[in-house]
Homo-oligomer: A and B are copies of this chain.
């Protein structure tokens, strides 16, 4: 869909997933550190969240495919009638297909089936790779700025594919997960940027041949990433702060109830206090 909406749609998907990941992974990281404490039912909670994420991803991928196929100027499921029909839309559908596969792998990984560990991350890495692969052969015969702005996207896409591939072998590395979140956010905002530049809402067309525009866009890409890092940093801090506050109140409650029940034996209280000092 070569218009603003066609870029805003995937942009929104990536932005939502990036933002969600930048909340989920700090949450899991901090709760994992506290696992020595009282709650043991958290892993189950995260399994359920992963399941919902997988279902949503599959659903979004399905929406994306349908949108690409059945928009008024789409191929409506026709591939060849003497010549190829709307190959751009077909290519976008293929990209969504692999995100759908990644969603299914997420669902399987969060199910109790004997799936090899890391399948979800491998399939996400493949989805990113396929996206980059198709984009790479996507941008021939276009004006310089159009080509450049699309190929910059490849840095985030292949960077994400590589770092997610690393996650297959370094399971649950928080830093890599946050890195992935930041790349997803950047991909999201960059899709919007592409939309704004190629299909400006205010009608002022960009000069697609101007070298200054290309230089600005290159730098602008770095600014997007700086903003993505800032967002991830803020979300991480807020999640940390919230869990600490909630955790302390929760702990205080437990402590009070402990004091009421077991006056003479104060060992468990000490253990809890020591624990809160450590953190």
> Which residues of A come within 8 Å of B, CB atoms?
29-30, 33, 83-84, 87, 90-91, 94, 97-98, 101, 113-114, 116-119, 122, 126, 130, 133-134, 137, 140-141, 155, 168-170, 174-175, 178-179, 211-216, 218-219, 222-223, 225-226, 229, 240, 279
Tell whether, in the assembled complex, residue A29 and residue B116 are in contact, meaning their CB atoms are under 8 Å apart: yes
Q: Which of B116, B137, B218, B279 contacts A218 (CB 8 A)?
A: B137
List the B side residues contacting A226 at CB < 8 Å: 97-98, 101
How distant is the Cα of A130 from the Cα of B175 in the complex, in angstroms?
19
With a CB–CB cut-off of 8 A, which chain B residues contact A219? 87, 90-91, 94, 134
Residues of B within 8 A of A119 (CB): 175
A232 CB → nearest B CB, Å: 11
Task: Report B-chain residues with C-beta under 8 Å of the C-beta of A133.
Answer: 155, 218, 222
Q: How far is the CA of A97 from the CA of B215 in the complex (A)?
A: 17
On chain B, the residues within 8 Å of A98 by CB distance are 222, 226
